[in-house]
Amino acid sequence: MNWKKYPIILFTFCLFTGLLQAQETSHVHGSAPDYALKVISVFSYTDFVSERKQWLTSDVVDENGSFDLEIPCAEITYIGIRCDHVTAYMYLEPQTNYRISFLSPEVGTSVTFNDKAETELIFEELELSDINSLIIDFNYRYEGFFTQNYELLQRMFAPTNKQDLADSLGHVARKAVKGNIEQLLDKMEQFALNMDTMYVEFDLPYFKSYRTAVLGDMMLNSKMDPRDFFDRFIAPRSFQAQHRAQTELQKKFYRYYFLRHAQSYGNEELGEVLNDLGSYTRLCELVSKDDFMETEVRRDIVLSMAIAEVWGNKSMEKDKLADILASIGKESKSEAASKVALDLLHVLNSNEKGFPAYSFSLYDQFNDRTSIEGLSGRPIIIQFWASWCSDCQSEQVLFDLLSNTHKNDFYFISMNMDDLEDIPSIVKRDKHVHHLLGISDPLIKESYKVNSLPFYVLIDENGLIYDYDGKRPSEGLESILLKWKKKKEETKRTIGSKEN
């Protein structure tokens, strides 16, 4: 081997590797004229079962209203672009440059600290073969198809008179409904074939799955037999948790299916497995008889979906449901199903009493680092506030008094929710010490589900949620702290007594 060539080979390899890494990004740049000097951030979802957000990148809109976002992207990804509590959505293709205009929401929309406020994007010079262009075009054609067949859809979805089902009129009605479904399926099949032909030149698998999911969603509430629906819209495609439309269709289908067929599993046996045992193994044995969950990956993801549906039911033991999700995460033979279960577990228990609090690590205005792990041993009181929040100002004074009075028994964290660009001016005029100032980790707000201000979260000495959305200082927060402190002192005395 000619060793003199080795540096060239190494350089070529490094250059090639760098090019590969560079290709894993896309650019979204453009204008947001009404959001000058605001932070603009991009997020995606780890999957559409848990809908857990992951933040990808951020930029500051300059004084002229321009921004430039470089976003990691290895496959078609549905992303949200958020600026000043307003969000717009689009699909992102790898190695693609997009130029967009980020518009203000419609007049009258409440946007202050409201993550549900949405706006539209205007694309400039969008390629015909881009996934956004294809979906926009298809949706337009689908709306035309829906309008043309509205009369047929109306007949098919019309409620049936239950009193007539036993007589001949009911029999005629059932035959008519069946005929309507078959007629619509024929038209849908022809429409789908027309779309396949129309988009054959740039028919991405992702786009074809999208089209099928849209048509399936139209048929979901019809009187179509569940088996026929499953065979037509669900079974032909492997589950893709990162495909928004397909996942939404399957979530709706299994929600519909379980509501009507839960008794098939035996209510007492199902309740025992979920509530008393929290047994993933027993649950698998119970549902394995159902051929709608023919593959392990589908079964495990559907079980995760079902747990998400019943999580808020007061009759359910959340710790048992959490045990099942943890078992799926650990034992599932499908890496995709395992990840979905663990992401869902994180989302569901993020604000539940007795479950681990979201762990974060940020710097204060003195550049000192604070983290949840570093504050073990004492309960933690977190206050979320912002300079523009009028109620926060009066609560801040009382919060400071509490922190001075009980500083030896509790950790107090004051979490500012202003844009990072506004922080220097706040520090200059505000003489209070704020342990964490500025949201450089957007997942904090997401994980603690902070939807209003001021907002208080109490975490016990073991890092578990003690009180989510707790009382304000003006509403009796101190009384909770005093009871907490008294209980802790009584526990210490009991442990140190001669009886023990």
What is residue 21's predicted lDDT score, i.e. its pLDDT? 47
Mean pLDDT over each residue of the chain, to the nearest integer: 83
What is residue 405's predicted lDDT score, i.e. its pLDDT? 92
CB 188 within 8 A of CB 211: no
What is residue 274's predicted lDDT score, i.e. its pLDDT? 86
What is residue 485's predicted lDDT score, i.e. its pLDDT? 85
Average pLDDT over residues 427-436: 56
Which residues make beta-bridge pairs with 39?
A: 60
Tens of pLDDT, residue by residue over 215-264, are 999 888 777 888 889 999 998 888 889 999 999 999 999 888 776 776 77
pLDDT-derived band of residue 179, with 50, 70 and 90 as boundaries? confident
What is residue 116's predicted lDDT score, i.e. its pLDDT? 74
* DSSP-assigned letters across all residues of 249-285: HHHHHHHHHHHHHGGGG-HHHHHIIIIII--HHHHHH
Q: How many whole angstroms separate alpha carbon 57 and alpha carbon 33?
A: 20
**Looking at per-residue confidence, does 268 or 142 come out higher?**
142
**Residues 6+ positions from 259 with CB-CB distance below 8 Å:** none
Tens of pLDDT, residue by residue over 63-99, are 999 999 999 999 999 999 988 778 999 999 999 999 9
**Looking at per-residue confidence, does 261 or 300 come out higher?**
300
What is residue 113's predicted lDDT score, i.e. its pLDDT? 67
What is residue 484's predicted lDDT score, i.e. its pLDDT? 87
Average pLDDT over residues 146-171: 66
SS3 content of the chain, % helix, strand, coil (to 5): 50, 15, 35
The reported pTM is 0.79
What is residue 439's predicted lDDT score, i.e. its pLDDT? 54
Tens of pLDDT, residue by residue over 112-141, are 666 678 898 999 989 999 999 999 999 999
What is residue 247's predicted lDDT score, i.e. its pLDDT? 95
Judged against a pLDDT cut of 50, whether residue 422 lies above it is answered with yes
End-to-end CA, the chain: 77
**Looking at per-residue confidence, does 468 or 123 come out higher?**
123
**Looking at per-residue confidence, does 383 or 171 come out higher?**
383
Q: How many whole angstroms separate alpha carbon 154 and alpha carbon 143?
A: 15
Judged against a pLDDT cut of 80, whether residue 173 lies above it is answered with no
